[in-house]
Structure 1
């Protein structure tokens, strides 16, 4: 049968997209692990970003190893797609199972090694699964299948942090996670924050007194430090109680004092046995993930998934011999674009828990972070589902109507999932305005990759600037979270532009682009490094904290992405290449 008339092999394809779900599930769950590890391992913000670094550097290392081996022997043709994919799944399972001894040892570096191995397995899966999805049917519908797979990936990124949050912190408390009462005065809000921190420390003291696995001297030493902080909190609370009509300067003084006490609290090094006890909850979800990886690997090996014809791969050889990245400006500029895109996508959310933890943004604690992580990654789901509408043949009117309906259906799923976890997310409703803005911009961008990338890059710049300057921090955080919306369609747009005109070298160019996922491990470190200036310069910069100011990094990133969207169609035009339509997908 001619490949152009092949039907999509749906039974095989549906088996494959389970892998895409796992990528999203684990990648988004990292953002819950970051504040947990930061707290119990007493890490700086830049150190906590090593979680993202370990995961995304593994993609780069895995791609390089795969590429080097493939120079001597074509792995996919020698072992087949199914077996290679199964090896990647088993490798990720090994990494997931290593979370158990890492938690038992309470070793941050052990956790990073385990996460690196999970990412290494994912790199193999990524290299295999993307082309396999494209080849499971007609070439004309290959991009459509990848779009659907990207939507499943985004579903994983939305659900992952919610489920991991439930495992680590239990079901939510709606009263605890509710937005600030607008009827409270400023001093009452500060008083509530004092009490919240005191309750957290008092809980730790209670658990420390029951600790029978650590050196009693060390336990008593830590208890004394924690109780000193509680005593300082009590002093301030007593002062606030006697000064209910505090003026602006007095409120600021109380807030500053709370920030100093919280900083001392984050520097407390708890006994190793106590830390192990708090990390034991990490074990179960990764045991389940490891078992799931193994089961999917076995299923893949015995499935009816067929390897693509070998002659398809042979076509690449002639063009590959004389291949040079520097012959194609769209490619080397695109490699930098992928590096920056993945970097900014990860950096915005990886540093968001630290931002929300600042006094400016309400001092949100670790157990209430999951809904915001879910909303961010869910924003990518909203954008990709919106882009997926172009896959289906429907009238212009129906298409336009669905462009408005589908994003809000995805938004409703995010709200519903968080409500089921016991969290109060009523404050999320205002996010509908950002979704509406995204829909309008998607109409302006149309189906042209360059124009869409430029518009969404500029939108990202505007959103990050507004997040920096908007006075109401309850609103400002949504400008930062909306970065997920405008990142949502960038992967396929950059990919389409970068490989245009590559012909027989498309496969090799794609492997170089996948290597650039490394950006997800580097750019969050840079932003985290800026956040850490808050320790040495608590007065901040330009009237805001350094953690808040660190969001200038995403601004720079979005500027380049907008530039790439603007300049690349012009580069391609000089080469006599006219771009077609693009569809939404995800890495």
Structure 2
């Protein structure tokens, strides 16, 4: 980042929208147990909250690609990344307006529709924002810049559950949970809509650089009609059976895709120079599969936490916010730690900050939750999990692939401990999934879009599309939970971490065959810079 100081104001401006993405996503963890109780839903049905929100990313990215195909131009290249973000914010604001009539009518379907429209806006924002941030500096340090955005993102996720819980319940007690109503959700989300519009106006008057991919952009039939086939399968399954069945069928289809992507990566060779579509690049397929699994595990661990706390800790929906917040705060702890090197501190200062920054972030998590939850001393032992994360980050030496391998291995281990043990050890082990998910997104995104050239925007849209994992995997865990119990259902998270570990190995080997090695580039810069 030291060579691109002139781009820092633009980077800081872009980071503002990251706040809302996690604020809303984390707040879903408060809505799910509330809706389950008030609408008398099963855990599978309650997880449709996440399905509606994250399925919008898939549909939004697909629509973006369809418009690009039929207008024979890349929409974001035409309107610019800045305008894409503004339009996305306005669209999300329109989605929050539905919460008022939905709450008045006590309509679960209309509430889900509002979340879907909010997610559509987020899809466009993310498709525009992340390649924008990568373009503000060298590609090999793009993961660092995305980590900076992620640091802001999960600050929103940290305070979101506490603020939304306070707005809905007012206090922590069995009486507050019992007296809360569906109508209590409308005002918080209307306020959120006002904030979306305010930030859109801020972007409109801001002086962001005009950055786009100036190369010719092509959108192939497989890129647009492949997702259409999945949508058709879902719609037909819904009509013939039920939405739950449709999600299960979609899960089966995506499992086949995960296997195919890994097969392509394992059997890939050097590029020939005749690549005519984005799917000719195995890293794009691998990145899609990894994003699907990564977002799925991140969301499912946090969103099923409310049911886990109810069954194993005997807590009601007004009492879960500090634990949900701790999960999303763990994402912030990890991302603040990973973003710190982007400011290019000296070697000595970096060693100090590597220990100080995560505990400052942990302190913010504790303080934010103490304002609403009061006593948070039961969260203090979680500091041991933070220490494990710090040691893992030091061992990774800031190398994207090594980070991926170490953190996914620890994620698999900790979720397995969470399944096999009880009490606070199990609870904190599961919550620590947030620590070990925290820095995976930028590593996967950078690896999945590396070397795509004129297909970079398409690759970005494809990866954003695979946020679909956040809609399908939580519902599947809900289904497993209804059958085998909530704690055992977390084996799904363990399996996801294992898949991501294998992805890291295969993606690195695939890119090296193309002459791309981010870990080696980071090592060279570290030697030159002396730290």
Is the shorter-chain TM-score for this pair beyond 0.5, marking a shared fold?
Answer: yes
Task: Give the whole-Å Cα distance in 1 for the aligned partners of 2:408 and 2:80.
Answer: 39
Task: Give the whole-Å Cα distance in 1 for the aligned partners of 2:283 and 2:333.
Answer: 28
Deviation at 1:323, TM superposition (A): 3.4
Deviation at 1:51, TM superposition (A): 0.4
Determine the structure 2 residue equivalent to 1:130.
130
Task: Give the whole-Å Cα distance in 1 for the aligned partners of 2:7 and 2:337.
Answer: 24
Task: Give the whole-Å Cα distance in 2 for the aligned partners of 1:386 and 1:63.
Answer: 30
Q: 1:24 to 1:76 in 2, by over 3 A?
A: same
Determine the structure 1 residue equivalent to 2:198.
295
CA RMSD across the alignment: 2.5
**How many residues were matched structurally?**
467
Tell me if 1:571 matches 2:494.
no
Deviation at 1:450, TM superposition (A): 1.9
Determine the structure 2 residue equivalent to 1:79.
79
Q: 1:6 to 1:466 in 2, by over 3 A?
A: closer
Deviation at 1:498, TM superposition (A): 1.9
Q: 1:319 to 1:57 in 2, by over 3 A?
A: closer
Deviations 1:108-145 (A, max 9, x none): 00000000000001111111222333445787876544
Determine the structure 1 residue equivalent to 2:441.
491
124-133 or 318-327: bigger deviation: 318-327
Could you say which structure has the larger radius of gyration? 1
CA contact (8 A) 1:351 1:528 kept: yes
Aligned partner of 2:427 among 463, 477, 494: 477
Deviations 1:218-270 (A, max 9, x none): xxxxxxxxxxxxxxxxxxxxxxxxxxxxxxxxxxxxxxxxxxxxxxxxxxxxx
Deviations 1:363-411 (A, max 9, x none): 1110011101100000010000110121122232221221111100000
Determine the structure 2 residue equivalent to 1:451.
402
Task: Give the whole-Å Cα distance in 2 for the aligned partners of 1:129 and 1:55.
Answer: 19
Task: Give the whole-Å Cα distance in 1 for the aligned partners of 2:133 and 2:514.
Answer: 30
Extract unaligned runs of 5+ from structure 1: 177-195, 208-276, 534-539, 541-545
Aligned partner of 2:464 among 506, 514, 517: 514
Deviation at 1:531, TM superposition (A): 1.0
Task: Give the whole-Å Cα distance in 1 for the aligned partners of 2:26 and 2:276.
Answer: 36
CA contact (8 A) 1:166 1:421 kept: yes
Task: Give the whole-Å Cα distance in 2 for the aligned partners of 1:566 and 1:401.
Answer: 31
Determine the structure 2 residue equivalent to 1:153.
153
Q: 1:329 to 1:317 in 2, by over 3 A?
A: closer
CA contact (8 A) 2:131 2:457 kept: no
Deviations 1:486-507 (A, max 9, x none): 0011111112222233333333
Aligned partner of 1:315 among 189, 199, 215: 215
Determine the structure 2 residue equivalent to 1:186.
none
Deviation at 1:423, TM superposition (A): 2.9
Q: 1:408 to 1:519 in 2, by over 3 A?
A: same
Deviation at 1:469, TM superposition (A): 1.4
Extract unaligned runs of 5+ from structure 2: 221-273, 524-531
